[in-house]
Amino acid sequence: MPESGSVRGFSIGLAALVEDLGIEQSPRGWAGSSSDLARAARLKQTLAVQQARAGALEEACDSVAGVVRIYRRLATNQPARYHSELALALTAWGLWSSRLARREPAAAALSDAVELYREMLATHGRLRVMQRIRLRVGMAVALSNLGLARSDLGEHEAATAAAEESILTLRRLHAHNALYRMLARSNPVGFEHCLAAALNNFGLVLAARGNLEQACELAVQTTESYRRLAGLAPVVFESELARALHNLGLAAAEVGRLDTALAATQESVYLHRFLAPADPVGHRQYLGQALCAFASVRAACGRDLAEALTAAEEAVTLHEQLTAEQPHTFSGDLHAAYRTVSQVRTAQARESAGPRRPGATDPDPAS
């Protein structure tokens, strides 16, 4: 007689297959029990995380979409048990969709996640303190990512409201919840990371809206937070620090803080170049973006232009490789790299032409 574990594994696998094929579970439950479907969802979610870490975001989105379908089905009959898992899956789906520039699906998934968190917090009044903390932190994460998704859609008022609520939620928890403060003291890395990510996203939302000074101040705060975190856990947070420095360099350049922009973009490239690529695709993308920022800032300042051109051309090479592998995902980065090369060459030509004579005008392009 087969061992019970073997039968159980087949049942879970069958449940996942039936879900993939879109076949409804029969009343007799031949596709697996609720517990089998829940195990199938956890297996698919593990797969999705592994795919995302390997840079296969399209596959990760497809996998987590299956997780969402399973949990929606399960939550129909047992909402109290499965809504939290559904909210987490929706948040992941929205985050990865946003990275793929699938703006409408990202905003829809994250909006659903936020509403689920609000519903759970409103309807489960007797939740234990720890459960309530988890739900509020989960809602803050979903709100922060929703702010970016709304910003990508040009919905700047809604984006600002979501990103700001995320930070207020975390700060209110710290101010008014003694258990949260105790947990934050015992695990400063995890709790400060959550706030740092929310500050970073809020800064990006404000920059897209044109609030450049405030966005730069938030970029400074984000960089300071990630520098502290990288001191505590360098393997985990040096990559986050590199991306924070990248954002700081761009934000500082926008408001004329050129020395800060030059230093931040240089450090960002340095960190990206020497980080171990746990995510090879993401590593190449972020390094390419950092190289573009490094070159763009120097072109705007008229500084180190030969080095800037080398960096921009390296960015083009990286993004050409990525676009060949995933054209829909990386073509925007490639076009930005081409523009940066052109920007640097224009700056070099301007420098070679020397100072302009008083009263000189550019030739009429129509002549």
pLDDT tier for residue 3 given thresholds of 50, 70 and 90: very low
Tell me, yes or no, whether 1 lies in a domain: no
Res 281: pLDDT: 80
Res 183: pLDDT: 83
pLDDT tier for residue 125 given thresholds of 50, 70 and 90: low
**Which segment of 101-105, 303-307, 344-348, 354-358 scores lowest on mean pLDDT?**
354-358
Average pLDDT over residues 292-315: 94
- Nearest CA among 277, 299, 292 for reference residue 330: 292
Res 363: pLDDT: 38
Query: Residue 18: CB partners within 8 Å, gap ≥ 6?
Result: 25, 31, 32
Q: How far is CA 222 from CA 187, 193, 210, 250, in A?
A: 18, 10, 19, 14
Rounded to whole angstroms, the Cα distance separating 16 from 24 reads: 12
Average pLDDT over residues 324-344: 90
- The domain total for the chain is 1
Res 33: pLDDT: 75
CA–centroid distance for 264 within its chain? 20
Average pLDDT over residues 301-330: 91
- Residues of the chain with pLDDT > 70, as a percent, come to 86
**Which segment of 118-127, 265-274, 329-338 scores lowest on mean pLDDT?**
118-127
Tell me, yes or no, whether 328 lies in a domain: no
224-249 pLDDT, tens per residue?
Answer: 999 999 998 888 889 999 999 999 99
**pLDDT exceeds 60 at position 23:** no
- pLDDT top residue among 119 and 4: 119
Tell me, yes or no, whether 348 lies in a domain: no
251-287 pLDDT, tens per residue?
Answer: 999 999 999 999 999 999 999 998 867 778 888 899 9
Tell me, yes or no, whether 141 lies in a domain: yes
* CB atoms inside a 10 Å sphere around CB 37: 24
- Looking at residue 78, which CATH number applies to its domain? 1.25.40.10
Range of the domain at 67: 33-206
Tell me, yes or no, whether 310 lies in a domain: no
Query: Residue 359: CB partners within 8 Å, gap ≥ 6?
Result: none
Tell me, yes or no, whether 236 lies in a domain: no
Tell me, yes or no, whether 54 lies in a domain: yes
**pLDDT exceeds 90 at position 343:** yes
Tell me, yes or no, whether 231 lies in a domain: no
Res 56: pLDDT: 83
